[in-house]
Structure 1
Amino acid sequence: MRRAAQVWPLRPTARYAAQIAEALRAETLGGVIMLLATVAALIWANVSYESYDSIRTLTLGPAALHLDLELYKWAQNGLLAIFFFIAGLEVKEEFTHGELAVLRKAALPIIAALSGMAVPAAVYLLVTIGAPDAGRGWAIPTATDIAFALAVLAVTASAMPAALRAFLLTCAVVDDLGAITVIALFYTEGLNVPMLLAGAALIALYGVLQARGVTSPWLYVPIALAAWYFVEVSGLHATVAGVALGLLTRCRTRPGESRTPAEAADHRIRPISAGLAVPVFAFLSAGVPLTASAVGAIFSDRVVLGVMAGLVVGKFLGVFGGAWIAVRLGLARLSADLHWRDMAAVSLLGGIGFTVSLLIGDLAYGDDPARADAVTTGVLAASLVSSLLAAALLHFRVRSHAAAAGTSGPGRVPGPMSEQDD
């Protein structure tokens, strides 16, 4: 007899529900701060690009250690390592206590997230066939910015079912893991193997100490900084060190512990990531001069068109289509609290690329400033379009849920499938 498909989302434990709520609060506030930083960067860059660029390209750090980096590179390689450390913690928590603890039960968000990476890449490649240097940018539209997406969801649709926010957060966790894998595999050149091995040894030491129950931050902070340094100078993008350390952080309590090391680290570091690291990166990355040529590139440069089409169209088709296929194949079922129109709205939010899309765009075209600025403009435009479309649809869905709650009882909206549908 065929095993029944899991109704999604599953009911989270009280502990995991509290962690989701904390993550949503931090990421939502971070998204607002990042939006303000982006607007400030755009204003400054268009009032006086020379002064903005002089700050962005200011070189700091000891040359003897190969750390004489421009300020925006410090943001990319240093501050975003903090962001990806938090992403690693989220992935570990999901696999330990969350929706991904039993992969069969997490089929819906996993398939939606993977499809939400593959389809935008395919759309990009289709739009850019024959365009010069287009192959380097295929991964730009595959990423979703969870902070911006959650901020839009919170501002426009706080009354939507919690299941929708859980779906978006779980998809983003899988998306973050996919993004760091893409960066490691496809945007790494000229590896220094001894340095990389030294970094890997330090990361392994961190994991061993975690497994043995060592909790002193005075030991872990130097190990983490040294691991980051060796990965950075090895040629592999330093954000890989961040996510690896997050994945190795222990997520289960030992006798006498009131919270896990992962919870303690998340509590201390998430505010730094959401309130400082990501907004500073956004400020140093989003300042592009919106000249006639830059805006014109949106409509004439097929790489930019491919990025925009991948984010706005590809992300929607990928996330929504992946979820629909998972249900049609019997791998999962939506709960009665959700409707396919809800899934369409949250799928549009997937087109808010921003942070990781800007990072991959610079890795792909950093040696071509004009193309890099055009790609940045395209990412910003696509993220804005996706935000507006999602906000409009979410607004209508909130009204629909409110109307249904008035006739069907609180919180009950007839969905396409319910637990009784077999």
Structure 2
Amino acid sequence: MTRTVGPSSQPEAESATSPKDVAPAVALHTGTSDLRALFTRNLRTSGIYIAFVAIVALFAVLTDGRSLSPGNITNVVLQYSYILILAIGMVMIIVAGHIDLSVGSVVALTGAVSAILVIQQGQPWWVGIVAALATGLLIGAWQGFWVAYVGIPAFIVTLAGMLLFRGLTLEVLGNISLSPFPSEYGRIASGFLNGLIGGNGYDAFTLLIFGIAVVGYAVSQYRTRVARLRYQQPVESFPLFVAKILAVAAVVMAFAWQLANARGLPIVLIILAVLIMVYGVVTRRTVFGRQVYAIGGNLAAATLSGVKVRAVNFWLFVNMGLLAAIAGIVFSSRSNGAQPSAGQMFELDAIAAAFIGGAAVTGGVGTVVGAMVGGLIMAVMTNGMTIMGVDQSVQSVVKGLVLLLAVAFDVYNKRRAGASR
């Protein structure tokens, strides 16, 4: 028997669910859902920034403000810049689903090659730089060949490379240290740009450069927001957007003020900033960058989509060799020489920076900026504990626990996301 609804019952149904009453609730629900989705999607990255600020504040209290002094902030930039350079390449390797255990040995070998040419043979300082870069590219091509075209897992290839290149470093140096480099070479990691000294002793040039950088960041973020709105993607409210820009500007300019009151703008910081900008564009706005994420996210789908997986993997390791060579130049410049033991444990610091900065263990997730924040977290913790006089053994325990918690948080997020589907 079929039940019919008479005309008299229709007004009751309409009055119970009147569009006039439902529309505000639907709009409110949609806005809340978008905000919740936006927060959930950015929880990992936002959490890293919050953790970084909290760690900086914690060590500022524990060291009675010494960790935030102008001189110490400058030293942090100089001492950990090469780890951040390595982290740029390492996060790309990890996003593609690989790992590189050889970068510390490559740092040592490229620095040794430069030292042999410049210190021992008396070649111009720039010849050592070119030779180190060429060595890094050759090493990257060597490892990329075995990974991409022979099919040996990157873990095995780079583990062999760690032993191979450390042995070559000992052979090149004859198991002795070489020093010193010419002053021009030393300025790469220890030089400063401080051409405009203000009346109170601060460097106005540093403040000017950072001010320009803040304006550029604000313009870039505004253009990104407009583009997302054009495609009807969820974004934060405009007051929240402005507050975020102002917060970033305040932190950056406070950092610039500390540098300006020390020795000015470190040259190595300029090198690092250029690398961050270049690789930020490469990973987000180029075909190669999208292919790297596609390979790490779903190898089978990437292959079926026409991605040349072997070529991408090959060039990833060539790029890692190049960045390891740059880090080797910076480290040898900083230490004013080449030592057989240079670069030990650098690979672990770079891997830790990538994972703490949000890279996923399974690949497909990670950013250059996140790796930089992860590296800075490690740098601030190490520097703060050193100021406090904490033993190296305890420092290793703390850094190991931080890395473990970062990866555990990543696994937890994945399980939660899988359970919600």
Mark yes or no: TM-score above 0.5.
no
Higher helix share: 2
State TM-score, norm by structure 1.
0.30
Larger radius of gyration between Structure 1 and Structure 2: 2
TM-score of the two chains, using structure 2 as the length reference? 0.30
